[in-house]
Chains A and B, each alone.
Chain A
């Protein structure tokens, strides 16, 4: 059974810092990995999707990397802003049913 873990559970940084969020998964036989953002009490916004054959994806200040063999992904956020404050979730698709398995999330607060 696939299990996804995110570290740290919570992170508080001053504005302007570069930061890294970590995601690990137990079964390396994944099809893809997706990073989401969730504002408090709201739905999820898709940030980046990395296929199993890819090493990284970039969108603006966000860069996600994937090391499938070691079961790890990182989300790098450059020059953090207060508007980046949210919970960040990673999720993987694995197995025959193509279902997303979600991580535990990292709650990020960027302070002025």
Chain B
């Protein structure tokens, strides 16, 4: 398995501000993903974080709103920009190792926007 940590674990933010979430993995991984889980909903993929290049975003998500960095094979950040109450969700980092199919998830960051 992979041990994944996320910071912060939770935050309460004001409308119009930005929050950067960090994801750290205990070993090098091929693929890193960011998901959003809105209240009472299942998980939706925001983007795939690519090492050394721009992230690949899913339909409905844009770089200006959710800029992502991945400077190396163990670390990634997701920024939620210009937040509104609709951004209140749990944001989860997920990884998959080279040659493996199993996907692992971090503990999540619970974001509340007031």
Q: A residues engaging B (CB < 8 A)?
A: 31-32, 34, 36, 41-46, 49, 51, 89, 91, 93, 97-100, 102-105
Complex: A45 Cα to B104 Cα, angstroms: 7
B90 contacts which of A41, A51, A99, A102 (Cβ < 8 Å)?
A: A41
A-B contact count (CB 8 A): 51
Q: Which residues of A contact B33 (CB under 8 A)?
A: 99-100
Interface SS, A side = strand
Establish whether residues A51 and B101, one from each chain, have CB atoms under 8 Å apart when the complex forms. yes
Known contacts A43-B6, A44-B43; 19 further A-B pairs (Cβ under 8 A): A31-B101, A32-B101, A34-B103, A41-B90, A42-B108, A43-B4, A43-B92, A43-B108, A44-B92, A46-B102, A46-B103, A91-B103, A97-B48, A98-B31, A100-B33, A100-B45, A100-B94, A102-B44, A103-B42
Establish whether residues B42 and A34, one from each chain, have CB atoms under 8 Å apart when the complex forms. no
Min C-beta distance of B32 to chain A, whole Å:
13
Establish whether residues A43 and B103, one from each chain, have CB atoms under 8 Å apart when the complex forms. no
Establish whether residues B45 and A99, one from each chain, have CB atoms under 8 Å apart when the complex forms. yes
Q: B residues engaging A (CB < 8 A)?
A: 1, 4, 6, 31, 33, 42-45, 48, 90, 92, 94, 101-108, 110
